[in-house]
């Protein structure tokens, strides 16, 4: 087993780094979800899969729903933020980027909860 350098374990990642890592992870998750959705469309067992989902208890459904909705909202809002930065690079100041990272997390979480309540009753 490889050991991690000691300085990495005591280092506190800034919110901008966590935001960037989350953007990459949600992008990977979306890739997997879209490949899975494409395969689902080709699957002859769609009705069985739907009925299995419908028989799940509400906690399992919430985990699945949040696991699908959060990456979509976070990655979309993160992409919009980057488009704004591309058009207005003067907004790229350390404090503004950190503030926008907190805002990105907050809006994504609120949107995830709202979308789940609206569309998955």
Burial class (CB in 10 A: 0-12, 13-18, 19+), 33: middle
User: CA-CA distance, 118 to 121, in Å (whole number)?
Assistant: 7
Q: How far apart are CA 54 and CA 9, in angstroms?
A: 43
Q: What pTM did the predictor assign?
A: 0.84
Domains in the chain, CATH or no CATH each = 21-119 (1.20.1300.10)
pLDDT in tens, the chain (121 residues): 566 666 666 677 899 999 999 999 999 999 999 999 999 999 999 999 999 999 999 999 999 999 999 999 999 999 999 999 999 999 999 999 999 999 999 999 999 999 999 998 6
Neighbours of 112 (CB within 10 A): 20
């Amino acid at each position: 087993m490889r050991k991690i350098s000691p300085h990495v374990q005591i280092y506190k990642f800034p919110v901008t780094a966590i935001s960037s890592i989350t953007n990459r992870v949600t992008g990977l998750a979306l890739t997997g979800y879209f490949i899975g959705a494409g395969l689902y469309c080709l699957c002859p067992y769609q009705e069985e899969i739907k009925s299995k989902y419908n028989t799940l208890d509400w906690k399992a459904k919430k985990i699945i729903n949040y696991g699908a909705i959060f990456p979509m909202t976070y990655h979309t809002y993160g992409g919009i933020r980057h488009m704004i930065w591309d058009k207005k690079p003067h907004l790229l100041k350390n404090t503004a980027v950190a503030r926008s990272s907190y805002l990105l997390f907050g809006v994504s979480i609120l949107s995830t909860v709202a979308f789940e309540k609206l569309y998955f009753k």
